Amino acid sequence: MNRRTFIESSIAAVVISATARPAWGAVHHIDRIGLQLYTVRDLMKQDFDGTIAAVAKIGYKEVEFAGYFGKTPKEARAAIDANGLTSPSAHHPLDALESKLPEIIEGAHVLGQKFIVCPYLDAKSRTADGYKHLAEACNRAGEATQKAGIQLCYHNHSFEFEKVEGIDGKPFDYLLAQTNPKLVKIEMDLCWMVVAGQDPVAYFNKYPGRFPLVHVKDWTNEGTAPRDYEGAVGHPVTGHMTNVGSGTIDWKKIFAQSGKAGIQHYFVENDDAKSLDDPKASYEYLSKLTF
């Protein structure tokens, strides 16, 4: 190798190294932060349009519906359009998914939603037969929504990690195993995972790409709980929900694995929010978070 070739090769190596290095240690942040509107449900009932406008003013770019508060999908779409928001997803209870799915799909198309989420399993149904029915119902609904260009998801709480007679292991793992991964994905509630003593990243590693949606809310063991969480957890629990960034959950660790998880949308939720100040505090934390 002559001197000129050596110099040119060395320069090329430096350029390649310089351009590659940022990809190795890239800094990420959430571009479009969403809000699950259950957080502001009381305000939505009082003033639908005003609350949507206030949510947009905070800086949120996406909203996830849990009911339309007496509005038609067309009226709800007009409200979010007027405020520069989009709605990628909505929650619909299991009985509605079994009895009104064509109507739900039609509404999702009006709103431009690409995800429909089954949000909950009633306490009386948390048996081996109940989970079997849930898995079968989600597979059926997922097949129908896929044909309509929409992905079905199931949203977890903590009770899916409680022992159930007739199911080997955790009911959450049973659901993941018994549902078609193409037809049924998961909206992981990161808070309820942690409350259940589970590591979200371990599930990202075990089921990569299966978690396109996440609920982002925090938890603290300090102070007194404002209400009973037993319905979501399955047993009495110490601690309470709090705004993102003011609790104990390690968001950097979790979100550093967003690519492996397949996360596309991040929705802030706080079941116990007292005013718009609560979702505002969560937004301000997440808008500055890098990982």
Rg, C-alpha atoms of the chain: 21
Calculate the alpha carbon distances from 288 to 62, 248, 281 in Å: 17, 17, 11
Residue type, 185: K
Report the DSSP pairing between strands 62-66 and 213-216: unpaired
Q: Which two tokens stand for residue 147?
A: 């044909």
Please report whether residue 132 resides in a domain: yes
Output the tens digit of pLDDT for each of the chain's 291 residues: 544 443 344 433 333 333 333 344 578 999 999 999 999 999 999 999 999 999 999 999 999 999 999 999 999 999 999 999 999 999 999 999 999 999 999 999 999 999 999 999 999 999 999 999 999 999 999 999 999 999 999 999 999 999 999 999 999 999 999 999 999 999 999 999 999 999 999 999 999 999 999 999 999 998 777 788 999 999 999 999 999 999 999 999 999 999 999 999 999 999 999 999 999 999 999 999 999
Q: Could you tell me the CATH number of the domain that includes residue 157?
A: 3.20.20.150
pTM across the whole model: 0.90
Please report whether residue 14 resides in a domain: no
Residue with tokens 């619909």, as numbered in its chain: 92
Please report whether residue 51 resides in a domain: yes
Please report whether residue 35 resides in a domain: yes
Please report whether residue 234 resides in a domain: yes
Residues pairing with 89 in the sheet: 64, 115
DSSP 273: -
Question: CA 105, CA 142: separation in Å to the nearest integer?
Answer: 11
Question: CA 282, CA 234: separation in Å to the nearest integer?
Answer: 26
Cβ contacts of residue 260 below 8 Å, gap of 6+? 204, 205, 208, 209
Question: CA 222, CA 240: separation in Å to the nearest integer?
Answer: 8
Cβ(247)–Cβ(177) below 8 Å: no
Please report whether residue 22 resides in a domain: no
CA angle 136, 141, 145 (to 5 degrees): 150
- H or E element in which residue 11 lies: helix 3-24
Please report whether residue 7 resides in a domain: no
Cβ(115)–Cβ(213) below 8 Å: yes
Domain that holds residue 273: 30-288
Q: Which two tokens stand for residue 144?
A: 């129908």
Cβ contacts of residue 161 below 8 Å, gap of 6+? 170, 171, 172, 196, 197, 198, 234
Question: CA 73, CA 36: separation in Å to the nearest integer?
Answer: 16
Number of domains the chain contains: 1
Please report whether residue 222 resides in a domain: yes
